[in-house]
Chain A
Amino acid sequence: MPNYNTIIDVIQDRSKITPQNCAYRFIAGNGDELAYLNYQTLEQVSLNIAANIQQICVTQEKQYESHEQQSKVLLLFPPSLDFITAFYGCLLSGSVAVPTAPLDFMRLERTLPRLLAIIKNSDACTILTTYKIYSQIQELYKNIDKTHNDIGDLINQFKISTTRLNWILIDKPLSDLSEHWQAPCIKPSDLAFLQYTSGSTSMPKGVMISHKNLIHNLEVIHQVAQQDGESCFVNWLPMYHDMGLIGSVLYPLYVGFHSVQMSAISFLKKPIRWFEVINKYKATITAAPNFAYELCINKVQIDSNTQLDLSSLNLVLSGAEPIRSNVIKVFSEKFINIGLIPQAILPSYGLAESTCAVSGNMKMTPNMFKRFNKLCFEQGIINILPNTYSEKKDTIELISCGSPLPSVNLKIVDPVTLQLSELNHIGEIWLSSDSVANGYWQHTAETKKTFNQALSISDTSEYLRTGDLGFMYDGQLFITGRLKDLIILHGLNYYPQDIELSVEQSHVEIRSGCTVAVSIDIQEQTELYIVAEVRAKVRALSDEIKEAIRRKVNADHNIAIADIYLIQPGSINKTSSGKLQRNACKQNIISNRLKCI
């Protein structure tokens, strides 16, 4: 691709070169097309939003001397093309976009604290939103007195923190100010947006993504993904999420192909809609986390007389979540008869701290599935087994997340000595490249710990500590888990997911996917603790269940358990998409807040 300096160059280039080509569509749950933008309208609409932002809150600088000088603008949108024009509007105004998850008015106690914390941390001066959301928020303010105490307090805090902000409602016809728009003096090192990571609710961390980070990541994605002007991306991932934003909104713009958006809710309600939209628009590329592929395996039923055809897809990315090799296998087997090309399904690895993508392959190859000796694995050593090796008990199967993308410097580092790991050893993944962000906005200590790591005197690069564990084999990156979840007992490494699987298999009354294994240090001794949800009303069996867990974990891993907590169904800590929160669970053990049966 040409040498772009900023995303602003890309937007203007698209509108100049292919003004009439389709840029984005938005599809409703019933398949109707709700919105359409070609590159020319995209630029016009975004430019006018930019001019409106500039009029309210952007002081024009000859040059921004620090990130503080750039205004921060919060984006609060339902899934829609409004999000996209608002996002580009921010960039075209020279300000920094701050995408956020839309407020769930049914569950304010869950969604409002995070939004509040982001408003505080980001120093946003303006909120871009829709008339509908603005009215819903005004409605909340009106009814504060009638609201439940805790939520009333939250709403009050929100009201106070938003009174100093400017609101721009982009679907109320905005005044046409496009004539007054001034091209901002943006350098590649200036910020494009803050990507807030899931982290804790009380302290959300905004990764500072610069234009240079974005252009670099888009270029290296392109060198491997190799889409062209005829391609089409179908996406339902939220656009405030890095994979949704960079993969499905910015990457298509960068190359100049068309992107079809739908909402996550519309996918979750009826997963087959994802396939229907792919089929209708002959999508070539799509992306989703592991859980979505699993959901399709369980929920999508294909009729024998179906017209669905997925053969247009040449890239079906799995990322943003640990990838189970079995899910990839079963997904490709189940949908091969509607044209899905097994080689197109590709695991990838990435994180917001490195803009988005870190590794991935062009095509799936059989050598991406590898089996390793389990005993060596526990010692952090990689010992590969031939694919013909049949003794399942002693093996671990992993799927590779591809090779590091071009110009990404990836190192496997011993997390204790902070020196390069020995060959064929598992270690923490460290990264250095132009995709790696400058740090977390207004979190100096966290930034220093995570982003500014030196490796050795001879290596002058600064590295990003990803917190992910893995190893390189045969040029391929394998991810084994999170460093903070790793359980180290007597010098051996255990991954919680392996122990949790044994616990689940030990007794029928234990609920699958609702078990956590953590290590806790007590008086310089590290010990293993298990928390497991059991089915309702089995208190009488608790001794029997605990005994079964101890026996199975000992048989599978040869380790003893310090204590076991059997808890009520639905009470284990999980994120909204169902991921286990092991650390929160650990805190509940320590502070004795588990709902034991």
Chain B
Amino acid sequence: MTQLNSNHVAQLSQQQLTTWLVNKVIAIAKIEAHEIDINEQFINYGLNSVDAVTLSGELEDFIGYEIPASIMYEFSTINELAQHLSRDIDSPFAIEGEK
């Protein structure tokens, strides 16, 4: 069965998360990188709720731990989501300088 690899709980920076999310939104919305605004709502790039759930699954693989399927509604822009996830990881490990 698909297990989340606990060794893969990497300390991803907000920048890494942003880059990953930007690439995903480019692929789903079929737009160019320069057209992305990280403060734009996901929904305005045409992401429907099936996209949002599948993307939350791929994001789990990337960050290495489980997140709610509704995370893209709670944090509805690339910036908010990347910020939230980088904090989320930083706190239990208390990594300095990874803000």
A binding-site residues for B, Cβ under 8 Å: 29-31, 104, 106-107, 265, 268-273, 276, 280, 291, 295, 299, 511-512, 514, 533, 535-537, 568-571, 574, 576-578
Contacts and interface: CB of A to CB of B under 8 A. Distances in A.
Given A514-B46, A569-B46, A576-B49, A535 B35 contact: yes
Contacts of B53: 265, 268-269
A576 B43 CA distance: 12
Interface in B35-60: 35, 43-51, 53-54, 56-57, 60
Interface string B1-37: 1111000000000000000000000000111100100
B3 to A, nearest CB: 6
A107 B70 contact: yes
Contacts of B60: 269-270
B47 A269 contact: no
B35 A537 contact: yes
Contacts of B61: 270
A555 B61 CA distance: 46
Contacts of A512: 30
B74 interface: yes
Interface in B64-78: 66, 69-70, 73-74
Given A30-B1, A268-B54, A269-B60, A533 B70 contact: no
Q: Which of B46, B54, B60 counts the most chain A CB atoms within 10 A?
A: B46
Given A268-B53, A268-B57, A511-B46, A30 B74 contact: no
A420 B57 CA distance: 50
Contacts of A578: 48-51
B57 A270 contact: yes
B46 A570 contact: yes
A535 B2 contact: no
B2 A569 contact: no
Contacts of A276: 1-2
Contact of A291 (B44, B45, B50, B69): B50
Contacts of A270: 2, 57, 60-61
Interface of B: 1-4, 29-32, 35, 43-51, 53-54, 56-57, 60-61, 66, 69-70, 73-74
Nearest to B67: A269
B31 A265 contact: no
Contact of B45 (A29, A569, A577): A569
A405 to B, nearest CB: 30
Contacts of B2: 30-31, 270, 272-273, 276
A269 B73 CA distance: 15
Contacts of B32: 535
B74 A106 contact: yes
A518 to B, nearest CB: 20
A271 B56 CA distance: 12
| Most-contacted residue by chain A among B3, B29, B32, B66 (CB, 10 A) | B29
A537 B34 CA distance: 11
Contacts of B70: 104, 106-107
A532 to B, nearest CB: 12
A299 B11 CA distance: 26
Given A31-B3, A269-B54, 19 more contacts: A30-B1, A30-B3, A106-B73, A106-B74, A265-B69, A269-B60, A273-B1, A280-B1, A511-B29, A512-B30, A514-B46, A535-B30, A569-B29, A569-B45, A570-B43, A570-B46, A571-B44, A574-B48, A577-B48
